[in-house]
Amino acid sequence: MPMLDIKNLTLEMVSGDTSIKALDKVNLSVSSGEIRALVGESGSGKSLIVSAICGALPPQWQLTADRMSWNGENLLGLSNQQRREVMRREIAVVFQNPQASLDPSATLGEQLEESIPDEFVRGRWFWQRAQHRKKIAISTVHKVGIKHHRHYLSAYPHQIPSDIGQKFMIAMALVSQPSLLIADDPTRGMEPTTKTQILKLFTRLNQTRSLSILFVSHDLLAIASMSHSMTVLYAGQTVESGKMKHLKKRPLHPYTKALLDSAPSFRKDLAPKSLLPTLEGSIPTLQHLPIGCRLGPRCPRAQRPCVVTPEVRRIHDHTYSCHFPLHMEKL
Amino acid sequence: MTDIMQVNGLTFFHSDTKRWLKKPEIFQLGPIDLSVKRGETIAIIGENRAGKSLLAKLLVGAIPASKGEIELNNHKYLAKYNKQDTQQKRTHDIRMILQHSSESMNPAVPVGKILDEPLRLNTELSEAERKPLIEEMLTKVGLLREHYYFYRHMLSDGQQQRVALARAIMLKPKVLVADEPFAALDPTIRSQTVNLILQLQQELGLAFIFISHNLGIVRHIADRIIVMENGNIVEEGKTETIFRWPQHATTKKLVLAYQSLVPQHTIR
């Protein structure tokens, strides 16, 4: 039973008399205790999906979905108040740019203490409660690997380096003990050592507290090392989805293969300085999306039928949408 | 292989003036000794605030150094800023790709003008001679002649990176320095850029010095690796040696962090 279940999510942006489908029939589900990776390049709509789940999209964009449920509850049917309740307690989001999403006018300590839910704070009198709040804040900050809590909790967002900001966002997300953590590109621009620290923290939380994680990124190496399953997105369409193990061993969609090829670390046989296999061309912009399969113009296997949007096909729990998938002769 | 660039005792010294009860903030880079061979690829790795970007800028002369000398293509000059004709020579031989290539381009000027600038400022060519050169360079980096008239916002990320690369190799330099050229790029575009740089290196015999956090790519294209910490080079060696037998604690940490991500069977 998936916790978060999204089926055929479509997002239409209407500008003037033209409408653009920024997300086209996206399917995504996160089971409890699972780390699901959402992979896609910039402009593929990863962050739009995250905002759609939070309900943070501008009201003039039309969001339709056959199903968008959280533990059986329809997220689109909730009132604002209820939606906020869910977002506050059960789903936590780590946003992409920590410097921009933290409040610039309050210290980090104030912001973190504010986001501790009241029922976690013990103590009868206000001074006892304030003390306990502070204790929780310090222990959470230590948990994500920030050492000098005295310095950083009294600092303002512009005074801290970006990797500390990133860790702090994670601390703020974890303090309400959510059951799903949505991490939007949490390791971008990090040096390898910090990155592994963060990834280890996620893995540990997943194992000890059975926290489900939706890990949004395009760093294949990080994803492959920790996630259980993966959904690949291209220009607003889900192209392939399934267990990490299967996808890595035998990708069915040409785009998944191109993504896996782009990380030289996956291949042992690749000679140093040899050319990397890659897709021609660049990612289409929203204004010039091709019809049918959106990978069409860049795909090495494209043929005439590709101008029709491919149906979602399924082999066990591995779904893909491609007219001419790879590796089919072996199956 | 001959040395194209020799750096001796390059030092950069920065200190805030001391104020009442405030400790002066001191940052020292180097002294750094480095030699670069013709056509060689060197990667600089290290943690944040180790002085990697600063070293890159000192090498090209974007920031004047405090001490030291650089010998480039048999021309020796002080790394300290001086406005002599040796400086002019340096702009021909060493060029740089900046960290955010899209932000380092003037949005109000078309690509052709951006590429024209290094030629106009550093060579004696007339306008009629410069234009075919620019068009040739555009096709060389995989763009079209029409891109001459395009503005920055009309290009995608990958194309902007190509323009930055074209601008850097416009004067046919011997050494190319790049500050995180692959960090902001998407995976498929990144592979394209890596391929392009590898091809150009073969064609032009460029020496390529780059900074990266992506150790997978470093392992793939670098001949030599420099590890920096706190403004000093702590380890230096061949790529395979560094990855297999890291000596210094910082290197060990970086390599271990990388290895723990790589699927187990690739470690032999």
Model pLDDT for residues B219-245, shown as the tens digit of each residue: 888 899 999 888 888 899 998 888 888
pLDDT tens track for B149-188: 989 888 877 788 888 888 988 888 888 999 888 877 778 8
How far from the centroid of its chain's Cα atoms is residue A190's Cα?
Answer: 17
CA–CA dist B178, B57 (Å, integer): 9
Q: How far, in Å, are A71, A312, B51, B148, B159 from residue B112 at the CA level?
A: 56, 45, 33, 4, 14
The per-residue pLDDT for A35 is: 92
Q: Kindly state whether A261 is in contact with chain B, defined as any CB-CB distance less than 8 angstroms.
A: yes
The per-residue pLDDT for B79 is: 64
Evaluated on CA atoms A77, A209, A139, A164, the torsion sign reads negative
The per-residue pLDDT for B80 is: 66
For residue A250, give the amino acid letter: R
Which of A218, A282, A285 lies nearest to residue B187, judging by beta carbons? A218
Neighbour tally for B191: CB within 10 Å: 24
The per-residue pLDDT for B84 is: 57
Residues of chain A positioned with their CB less than 8 A from the CB of B257: 192-193, 195-196
Neighbour tally for B115: CB within 10 Å: 23
Could you tell me which chain A residue has the CA closest to the CA of B267? A268
Q: Kindly state whether B121 is in contact with chain A, defined as any CB-CB distance less than 8 angstroms.
A: no
Give CA angle at A261 (A256, A265), nearest 5°: 130
User: Whose CA is closest to A293, among A283, A280, A281, A307?
Assistant: A307
Report which secondary-structure segment, H or E, holds B35: strand B26-37
Q: What average pLDDT is seen over chain B?
A: 83
The per-residue pLDDT for A285 is: 75
pLDDT tens track for B64-119: 888 888 888 777 776 666 555 556 667 778 888 887 777 888 899 999 999 998 88
**Tokens (6 digits) for B234:** 């702590």
CA–CA dist B76, B73 (Å, integer): 8
CA–CA dist A175, A184 (Å, integer): 17
Encode burial over A267-301: b for 16+ CB neighbours within 10 A, e otherwise: beebeeeeebbbbeebbbeeeeeeeebbbbebbee
User: Whose CA is closest to B167, among B211, B109, B124, B117?
Assistant: B117
pTM surpassing 0.90? no
Q: Read out DSSP for B158-214?
A: HHHHHHHHHHHHTT--SEEEEESTTTTS-HHHHHHHHHHHHHHHHHH--EEEEE-S-
In angstroms and rounded to an integer, the radius of gyration of the C-alpha atoms of chain A is 21
Q: Is A290 helix (H, G, I), strand (E, B) or coil?
A: coil
Asked if the Cβ–Cβ distance from A265 to B262 is below 8 Å, we say yes
Asked if the Cβ–Cβ distance from A259 to B188 is below 8 Å, we say yes
Give CA angle at A209 (A207, A210), nearest 5°: 60
Asked if the Cβ–Cβ distance from A275 to B265 is below 8 Å, we say no
Does residue B16 register a pLDDT over 80?
no
Asked if the Cβ–Cβ distance from A270 to B190 is below 8 Å, we say no
Residues 6+ apart with CB under 8 A from A100: none
pLDDT tens track for B252-264: 888 888 888 776 5
Which of A161, A265, A283 lies nearest to residue B156, judging by beta carbons? A283
DSSP B264: G
Could you tell me which chain A residue has the CA closest to the CA of B192? A278
CA–CA dist A241, A255 (Å, integer): 12
CA–CA dist B258, A265 (Å, integer): 10
Which residues in chain A come in under a pLDDT of 50?
none
The per-residue pLDDT for B18 is: 66
Could you tell me which chain B residue has the CA closest to the CA of A285? B156
The reply to whether ipTM tops 0.90 is no
Asked if the Cβ–Cβ distance from B188 to A163 is below 8 Å, we say no
Q: Is A238 helix (H, G, I), strand (E, B) or coil?
A: strand
Asked if the Cβ–Cβ distance from B191 to A261 is below 8 Å, we say yes
Residues of chain B positioned with their CB less than 8 A from the CB of A218: 186-187
Candidates B191, B198, B243: best to mutate against A (most CBs of A within 10 A) is B191
CA–CA dist A209, A206 (Å, integer): 6
CA–CA dist A91, B200 (Å, integer): 48
Q: How far, in Å, are A56, A232, B163 from residue A40 at the CA level?
A: 20, 6, 24
Q: Kindly state whether A189 is in contact with chain B, defined as any CB-CB distance less than 8 angstroms.
A: yes
Distance from the Cα of B257 to chain A's closest Cα (Å) equals 5
Considering the segment(s) B3-266 as one domain, its CATH architecture is 3-Layer(aba) Sandwich (3.40)
Show the DSSP H helices in chain A as ranges: 46-54, 80-89, 98-101, 108-114, 126-143, 149-153, 162-174, 192-209, 220-226, 244-249, 254-261
CA–CA dist A98, A166 (Å, integer): 6
Tokens 């962090």 correspond to what residue?
A: B257
Which of B48, B158, B266 lies nearest to residue A161, judging by beta carbons? B48
Asked if the Cβ–Cβ distance from B213 to A283 is below 8 Å, we say no
**What domains does chain A contain, in order, with CATH numbers?**
2-90+178-330 (3.40.50.300)
Q: How far, in Å, are A54, A85, A175, A261, B16 from residue A81 at the CA level?
A: 13, 6, 21, 45, 51
List strands edge to edge, sheet with A180-184: A91-94, A180-184, A212-217, A35-39, A229-234, A237-243, A318-320, A313-315
Q: Kindly state whether A201 is in contact with chain B, defined as any CB-CB distance less than 8 angstroms.
A: no
CA–CA dist B164, B13 (Å, integer): 30
The per-residue pLDDT for A331 is: 52
Encode burial over B131-168: b for 16+ CB neighbours within 10 A, e otherwise: bebbbebbebbbbeeebbebebeebbbbbbbbbbbbbb
